[in-house]
Structure 1
Amino acid sequence: MYEANQMVTAYENNIALHFGNYLRAVANKLLRVKERKAQLRAQLAAQNRHRTDINSTIQTLITQPTANVKRVLLHGNLDDPLIDNANRALLELLRAVFDSYPDDFHFHNSTEKANYKDGDIEADSQIRPRYHLHAFYELVQIMQKHNMHLPCVFPLRTSWIPAHTHIDTKVLCSQILGMSDKEPDLVKRAWDLVVNLNHPGFKMSGSKDENLARHFFGSVDTDGVSISITKKTRAEKSRNKGRQVVKDREPRDKPNNRKAKSKRKHGTSEPAVPFRADIPYIHDLTQQELLDTKGKVLLLDPGRRDVFHGIHENSTPENPMCYRLTQQQLISQRRTRRFQKILLKAKRSSTLGNVQSTEDFLATASNRTLDPTEFDMYIVKRSMVWDILSEFYSATQTVHVQSAHQIHKLRREYLARPPRNYPLHRKLRLSAYINRKRTDAYIARDIRKRFGKDTIIALGNWSAPMSCYHVPQRGKGWRKMFRKHNFQVLLIDEFRTSSICPACESHSLETFHRVPNPRPYRYYQAINQGKDPNIICHGLQRCTNVTCMGFVKKNGIWSWGYKLWNRDMAAACNFLRILNSLRNHGSVPPEFQRSWMQQQAVATNVHGTDTNPQPPPTRRRLNQSATQHPR
């Protein structure tokens, strides 16, 4: 039953997270957006047009019309008059997706659940994902026909490392101990036979009041090395006794109905932070609330290689208060490379055979395909490598340093018991989890030590999509981490913050510097193909405004030229401009306002008060919305 619930949850989460994104991606593929942009860009470049002019022309002729088509397409109607005949012919393949719904099916709206007719597919897939499984299947079939990257319609557990297994009192008694699950006082007697209930992890926690504290009621998840203990309050335990009724999900932008709680973390001296179901944007706060944060805000711009790059609002040129966290620092603190070397050494020294070649053989078959013949081939190949890979990833034991170093050999003589061996991969998975938590705690301590205990974190709302040759980035994970460590977190809209010069306040920042490609494979590949191995440096920008020129140090010599900016530092300085403008004038500077902000400002000026405020649009990835300006 537990595994079945996990499978259903995985299917629903997969649809809710990806359906809208993949529908737009297929529309871009059918409309040939990428090819048309490349062709038009080459034509305009041949005419010696400026880069800004080229981007503006592409935005007007291709990006904006395509965005309008996709916006109409999300309502599930290919026959809408806003879609011209040429685009309708290209999008005809999507009719199979829309025909998979019943004739009387209406989509929910993300803001008003009762208004079905104005809803769209993306909002409804997040509210009722189970009703979109057939349409998602049809959509992925179209992607397979056009050789696009295939998502997994039916997520599978492909890891060879044994996963955590849920064990409750009934499973423990019937499957492990062979006891009757109807005996009185069963939980304490049964679990006392397999675990130490006197361990602090199993004891009451959270509060001294037994009714408010969390207790262990006989439910754990374990993989044989690590264990996760589930605790509940007595009220939660009594609520969960009845039959569980599965309901539709609430819209994501609907506020949580839980009451706000002010908590102080046990054993810490940090100030309590009120619980909020959603993280507010700074332009949603009142001027008085913003004035109350004066002198406390740390403005951080998230990125890839520089995970965080920002400044404190009290920073000055004479006394800079900057903060920078790089990806290399995280790798070093989490000991990621050390774990990779251990795993690679275990692969090479395995007595089961060449593990790497076995994995390469399995990788030739895809488990995401919807073709039954190809999936049968994947099953056959997986069965062929089952013995080697399952044994390697589940039974490989740790190699202790006690047997290698002389000091540990002497220490072994007075040990009460010999050192225990654990399954290597499960132990490293637990160690990686512990190191991540330690790193998060270190980052929180370091920020409080450098900027004060009452520091408020203001984060850019950029969310990093998955990208080739890059480590997956934490988006919401960083926000949750800061809130878990009792920081007050605010969001800042990053619209145009990396393209406007903080000094002259003009839209004049551009990239210009070319450097050798830092990826050796791509560098030598370009040389072999007779192409330029140098690429544009993304992190260095210059201000092209002639009134903003000054002395610049180049190759050790000061000369008159364009002012240079680090891209992330320019964004952080613009964050500070937005914050000060909201405090002093109650509005975002016009150059950083989106279209809906400008319309709302006009309505406010005309009527005196905003009688019809428009909510901000749902945040999407930068490559999925035509109205989203590049950072």
Structure 2
Amino acid sequence: MANANTVGTVRCSLEAVGLREEYYHLLDLLVQRVNYVVAHAFQFARFIFVAEMSRRRTSFNPVLLITENFFREVFCWLTNRAEHQTMPRTAQWRSLLRKHWCSYRRWTGVVVQIFNALSHIAKYAAVQMATAYLNNVSLHFGEKLRSAVNRLLDTKARKAALVRRMASQSQREICCACETQIWGPAHLIKEAAFTQSPNPPRLNDAGQAILQRLRPILRAYPEGYQFADSSLFLDAVIHPENHFWAYFRLSQLFERDWRQFEYFPQRKKWRPANMAVTTNILWSELLAGVPGRFGETALDTWGRVLNTASKPFRGRQFDFEEVVHTDAVGIS
């Protein structure tokens, strides 16, 4: 809901908005089917990325695929979408999807779903997927990278050993020793590896060995790539799509030496996530395209399914924007 200057959201149950009894099952079925396709779209995208990026020599560039348009193609590939003549880039994407489709379908047994409002549903699903991929890198890449450096330096064990050796000395002396022997060298390694300084710090042999372990991650960037403000961590937040290769290489380092983490976002919840329902989706999927009376407005169309005179629709200085998000239990 929105007015001229403000956008707001009202969250309530389906009963509160007066959902007609005959549409409960249809809405629940729609949400379940969309969630099924979105979950497989996440898995299919992951299947493609892992297969292509695991090759030693490949021209595959994932940066070009972390877009809403690509994820829309992935979603539509799992549905009844008919193929038409497209732009060259879309044709390349479909060729890539076709290359891996048979293997993925054989391993998962995915069932193609049929939607009447496919383009509208795919649009919102693609936004969710692209956002999940970008947020996964921007929120976790820097954290995992720092964790990798600390693990390589074994900072926790070294600090514990240092504290035991200096147990008879003052806390101030222990802190100074930790800074000199542990945190200072760790900071120099991070500065040498993750900042583009014209005068990089000089490292000892141990630091050079750790830097060598991080080379596969640092080589994941194109030659001459400049980090924002010369900082890898800042650039990962501003331009997460450019760090997807490096994040994948980092995950390989963790997989080989430590506990593996989930570097590709997945839809794993047993309960369906919210899906967007617009007027077009409502009319095509729930109302089965049955036309209303002559001159019917969009609000009238919603009134055939919901009680637009119920409390969530009134009592506030907002106008209904003709879109809701629901998981077939609550609605907003």
For the aligned pair, the TM-score class normalised by the smaller chain equals 0.5 to 0.7
Whole-angstrom CA distance in 1 between matches of 2:303 and 2:182 = 68
Q: Trace 1:517-556 onto structure 2 (pairs within 5 A).
A: none
Q: Trace 1:474-485 onto structure 2 (pairs within 5 A).
A: none
Q: Trace 1:502-517 onto structure 2 (pairs within 5 A).
A: none
Amino acid aligned to 1:50: S
- Which residue number corresponds to residue 223 of structure 1? 327
- Which residue number corresponds to residue 367 of structure 1? none
Q: Trace 1:245-264 onto structure 2 (pairs within 5 A).
A: none
Q: Trace 1:383-532 onto structure 2 (pairs within 5 A).
A: none
The alpha-carbon deviation at position 142 of structure 1 amounts to 0.7
Whole-angstrom CA distance in 2 between matches of 1:164 and 1:219 = 12
- Which residue number corresponds to residue 160 of structure 1? 270
- 5+ residue gaps, structure 1, are 110-118, 207-213, 229-631
More strand by share: 1
Q: Please, what TM-score do these two structures have when normalized by structure 2? A: 0.57
Larger Rg: 1
Mapped pair 1:195 → 2:306: yes
Identify if the C-alpha distance between structure 1 residues 98 and 185 changes in structure 2 by more than 3 Å, giving closer, same or farther: farther
Among 278, 287, 291, the alignment partner of 1:177 is 287
The alpha-carbon deviation at position 23 of structure 1 amounts to 1.0
Mapped pair 1:128 → 2:239: yes
Tell me if structure 2 keeps the 8 A contact 1:11–1:153.
no
- What are the Cα deviations for residues 31-57 of structure 1, in whole angstroms up to 9, with x where unaligned? 222222222222222xx2233322321
Amino acid aligned to 2:232: I
Amino acid aligned to 2:218: F
Whole-angstrom CA distance in 1 between matches of 2:311 and 2:200 = 63
Q: Secondary structure at the match of 2:223?
A: coil
Among 3, 25, 28, the alignment partner of 2:147 is 25
- What are the Cα deviations for residues 194-248 of structure 1, in whole angstroms up to 9, with x where unaligned? 1010113123733xxxxxxx311210011222110xxxxxxxxxxxxxxxxxxxx
- 5+ residue gaps, structure 2, are 1-121
- Which residue number corresponds to residue 83 of structure 1? 203
Amino acid aligned to 2:286: I
Amino acid aligned to 2:277: I
Whole-angstrom CA distance in 1 between matches of 2:274 and 2:134 = 21
Q: Secondary structure at the match of 2:285?
A: helix
More helix by share: 2
- What are the Cα deviations for residues 76-133 of structure 1, in whole angstroms up to 9, with x where unaligned? 68x9443333211122121111111111311112xxxxxxxxx211111111111111
Mapped pair 1:10 → 2:165: no
- Which residue number corresponds to residue 174 of structure 2? 54
Tell me if structure 1 keeps the 8 A contact 2:276–2:326.
yes
Tell me if structure 2 keeps the 8 A contact 1:174–1:181.
no
- Which residue number corresponds to residue 227 of structure 2? 107
Let me know the Cα RMSD of the aligned residues: 2.4
- Which residue number corresponds to residue 261 of structure 2? 151
- What are the Cα deviations for residues 158-185 of structure 1, in whole angstroms up to 9, with x where unaligned? 2212222211111111111122799854
Q: Please, what TM-score do these two structures have when normalized by structure 1? A: 0.31
Which protein, 1 or 2, shows the higher relative CO under an 8 Å CA cutoff with sep ≥ 6? 2
